[in-house]
Chains A and B, each alone.
Chain A
Amino acid sequence: MSATPSPAAADDDLSLVRRVRAGDQDAARLLFDRYFDRIYNYVHARLGRVADAEDVAIETMTRTLTRLDTFEDQGVGFTAWMYRIAHNATIDHYRRQSKMTMVPLEEANLPQGDDPSELAVEKLRDEDLREAIRTLTEDQQQVLILRFFQDLTAAQVAQVVGKSVGAVQALQHRALGALQRSLQLRSAS
């Protein structure tokens, strides 16, 4: 859904970061233009509400641009750093809204006997898919959204969530399984 930043774009990001640190407002605008849509898309996938997505995306961009002096490219790229900020802003939003009551799907009482092959994913409505993702655990949502909505590689997702690439791949596998069960539950109800 979104283009993965190329190495050249990553270099350009660092150049823009340096300019913003030097007080260049035009560079701040360029970074905003480059990332706002992507962050909005990520936050919307996590929260599902346009108004909330706008607030949290703005908060993310503000935190990013005001904390550039704390960013150092030590293995964690600028993009990954920014998604971490977006994740933290999303969690803060949940806390403010007292919405931290989600039941992780793996702990939920789901039917186990259904044949998963019966699920016709092509016929699912887009909104059902988006809503089903939001029933997953924090980590599972994070991985699916970054991998499939933001088009990050497993290595990039590993940087964002602070896990190994192998752990991300395993998490992705579990997340797809949980998503499939959630969709089955929806189609059965």
Chain B
Amino acid sequence: MNTEMDRFQRLAERLQGLPAITPDAATRIRAWNLVSARLAGGPVAAPARRWRPFRLATALVAALAVLLVGSAVASAQSLPNSALYPIKRLDEGLRMTLTLGAPARFDYHLELARIRLAEAQAMVNADRLDLAEAALESYEADLADAAAEAEQAGSPADQALLENRLQEAIQVHDAQLANLQGQVTNPAAVAAIQAARDRALNTTPPASDKPKTPAHSPKSSP
């Protein structure tokens, strides 16, 4: 006996038994980087404020400030091929200047490195290899700066903690870059990504006596 209901039941069970398709860790990280970059202006719009009359000069200053802040917020989501991108970098530089203490600056450099990596991927996908290479160069610079900040952290224990975090971040980034490398066919793009991976994996604090060779080979994956 093989009724329609039986057949449908077997088909339904077969569907339920299919292995789940899930993203790999690098995809999750890349996705969060892109989502959080787009959320940089805040997930919820700020509530509207009641307008109050001011003198002309005050109003002009306020309008200018709103324009500047608005540009900064809008630029937070921009990519290197956007007209607002220079404002984003300017804003990042300003924030770095206002960030005090080696651990906080270390964190911010790592965050910027993650953002540059996401931008590099977006530019590769947009066939803008020139901008992708520039983003990768900035990425490497932020890693180097983070390493320098780790070296300046207070106690040796603090330094070791930050250096470990840096190495962990680099390993994660390397997985992302390997994934990106596997997606491109342009030999110049492949070479640029490989070079960035090699240099990133050799990032260590200037005076560190740790080995410069990472735990795994940089060319172990595509």
Chain A interfacial positions (CB closer than 8 Å to B): 1-2, 20-21, 23, 25, 28-29, 32-33, 36-37, 40-41, 44-45, 51, 53-54, 57-58, 61-62, 65-66, 68-69, 116-117, 119, 121-122, 124, 126, 129-130, 133, 144, 147-149, 151, 173, 176-177, 179-180
Contacts and interface: CB of A to CB of B under 8 A. Distances in A.
A179 B18 contact: no
B15 A68 contact: no
Ranked 4 nearest A-B pairs via Cβ: A148-B15, A1-B20, A117-B2, A176-B8
A96 B17 CA distance: 32
Interface stretch (B38-46, B134-142, B157-165): B38-46
A124 B14 contact: yes
B64 to A, nearest CB: 25
Contacts of B38: 62, 66
A176 B43 contact: no
Contact of A130 (B8, B18, B30): B18
Given A58-B34, A62-B39, A176-B12, A119 B7 contact: yes
B interface, over-half SS: helix
B11 interface: yes
Given A28-B43, A149-B20, A65 B12 contact: no
Given A1-B16, A66-B38, 8 more contacts: A25-B39, A65-B35, A121-B10, A121-B11, A124-B14, A129-B18, A148-B16, A151-B16
A40 B23 contact: yes
Contacts of B21: 40-41, 44-45, 53
17 contacts: A20-B44, A23-B43, A25-B43, A28-B43, A29-B36, A33-B28, A36-B32, A41-B22, A54-B30, A57-B23, A58-B35, A65-B35, A66-B43, A122-B10, A148-B15, A148-B16, A180-B8
Contact of B11 (A20, A45, A176): A176
Contacts of A51: 183
B20 A41 contact: yes
B36 A25 contact: yes
Contacts of A133: 15
Nearest to A57: B31
A20 B45 CA distance: 11
Contact of B42 (A23, A40, A117): A23
B176 to A, nearest CB: 12
Contact of B44 (A41, A69, A117): A69
A89 B97 CA distance: 39
A126 B36 CA distance: 34
Contacts of B15: 129, 133, 144, 148-149
A122 B174 CA distance: 40
B12 A148 contact: yes
Nearest to A179: B11
Contacts of B44: 20-21, 23, 68-69
B208 interface: no
Interface in B32-62: 32, 34-36, 38-39, 42-45
B19 interface: yes
Given A36-B23, A41-B21, A176-B8, A61 B14 contact: no
A80 B110 CA distance: 36
B27 interface: yes
A26 to B, nearest CB: 11
Contact of A69 (B18, B39, B45, B183): B45
B173 to A, nearest CB: 17
A58 to B, nearest CB: 5
A127 B18 CA distance: 9
Contacts of A40: 21-23, 27
